[in-house]
Amino acid sequence: MSSLPILYSFRRCPYAMRARLALLVSGQAVALREVVLRDKPDALRQASAKATVPGLVLPDGQVIDQSIDIMRWALGRADPEGWLMRDDAGLIAANDGPFKMHLDRTKYPDRHGSDPAVHRGAAVDWLHVLDRRLRTSAQLCGAVRGLADMTIFPFVRQFAAIDPAWFEAQPLPHLRRWLDIHLHSPLFAAAMLRVAPWREGDAPVIFPPAAAKENIA
C-alpha cells in the first residue's frame, strides 16, 4: 500500500475536479492516477466496489468514494482559506441533485431520452437563484471563495460549455462574472493538470506538484 493516499481521477469529471480543488488548497499530497473511464484499471476495481471517480484510497485501505467527502477529508486536515466556514448544505444538495439531473439531460439527451430544451430551462431557473445570490456578494457565501463555490463551480462550468454562445446570451451577469473568476484562477489551472492515464507499474505522479502549492491564490 502506498504511503500516500491514492486518488483515482478523471480530468474532465466535475466531481473529480472539485476533489482536486480541495486537495490543492489543503496542500494534501496524493498519488494521482488518471483513469480512462472505458478501461478502468483493476486496482481501482479491487479497491472500490463502485469503481467510480474520484476515489481516494487511504494508506490503511479505507476508500472515500464521494467527492464531497474527499473535499471534507482534505479540508479537515488543513483548511488555510477557511472553506469549511463557507458551506451551504442546501445549495450543494440542489446542485448535486436537481441541477445535475437537468444538466445531464441537457448535455446527453440521447442517453436519457430527454427533451434538452425542457431540462435546459429548468437548469437555468436554478442558475438564476445563484445569480441573485451573487448580486450582493462576490462568492456564494461571502466575499471570498469557499466550499460552496468550489463544490458547485465545476458543474456550472460544464453546463455553460454545452452551448457557450447561448449561455453568454442569458441574463446571468453576476453568475458569469463568478464563473469567469474561477475559470481563470491559478487554483483551477493547477487542478486541471494533464497527466497520462495510469498503468500498473507507473512511477507515482504526486499531486499537487510542489510548484502548484506556491501559486493557487
Sheet holding 6-9, edge to edge: 63-64, 55-57, 6-9, 30-34, 205-207
Average confidence (pLDDT) over 158-170 = 98
Domain chopping of the chain, boundaries: 6-80+188-213, 83-186
Determine the 3-state secondary structure of 31 from DSSP. Answer: strand
**Residue 194: how many CA atoms within 13 Å on its side-chain side?**
0
Bridge partners of residue 57, in order along the sequence = 6, 63
C-alpha closest to that of 99 among 54, 158, 166, 144: 158
Measured in residues, the chain has a length of 217
Determine the 3-state secondary structure of 1 from DSSP. Answer: coil
Choices 3.40.50.12280, 3.40.710.10, 3.40.190.10, 3.40.30.10: CATH for 6-80+188-213: 3.40.30.10
Q: pLDDT per residue over 103-137, tens digit each?
A: 999 999 999 999 999 999 999 999 999 999 999 99
Secondary structure of 193-204 in HEC code, one letter for each residue: CCCCECCCCCCC
Q: Do domains 6-80+188-213 and 83-186 have the same CATH topology?
A: no
Return the H-helix or E-strand segment holding 63.
strand 63-64
pLDDT at 174 over 70: yes
CA angle 69, 207, 17 (to 5 degrees): 45
Q: Read off the pLDDT band of 142 (50, 70, 90).
A: very high
Compute the distance between CA of residue 171 and CA of residue 28 in angstroms, rounded to an integer. Answer: 38
pLDDT at res. 210: 74
pLDDT at 216 over 80: no
Return the H-helix or E-strand segment holding 118.
helix 116-133
Q: pLDDT per residue over 69-78, tens digit each?
A: 999 999 999 9
Composition of the chain by helix, strand, coil, percent to 5: 55, 10, 35
Q: Read off the pLDDT band of 49 (50, 70, 90).
A: confident
Return the H-helix or E-strand segment holding 110.
helix 109-112
Q: Read off the pLDDT band of 88 (50, 70, 90).
A: very high
Bridge partners of residue 56, in order along the sequence = 7, 64
pTM: 0.95
Mean pLDDT, the chain, whole residue set: 95
Percentage of residues in the chain with pLDDT exceeding 70?
A: 96
pLDDT at res. 209: 85
pLDDT at 139 over 90: yes
In the chain, which ranges are E strands? 6-9, 30-34, 55-57, 63-64, 205-207
Q: Which CATH architecture has domain 83-186?
A: Up-down Bundle (1.20)
> Which residue carries 481516494 as its cell?
56
pLDDT at res. 213: 60
C-alpha closest to that of 108 among 120, 96, 124: 120
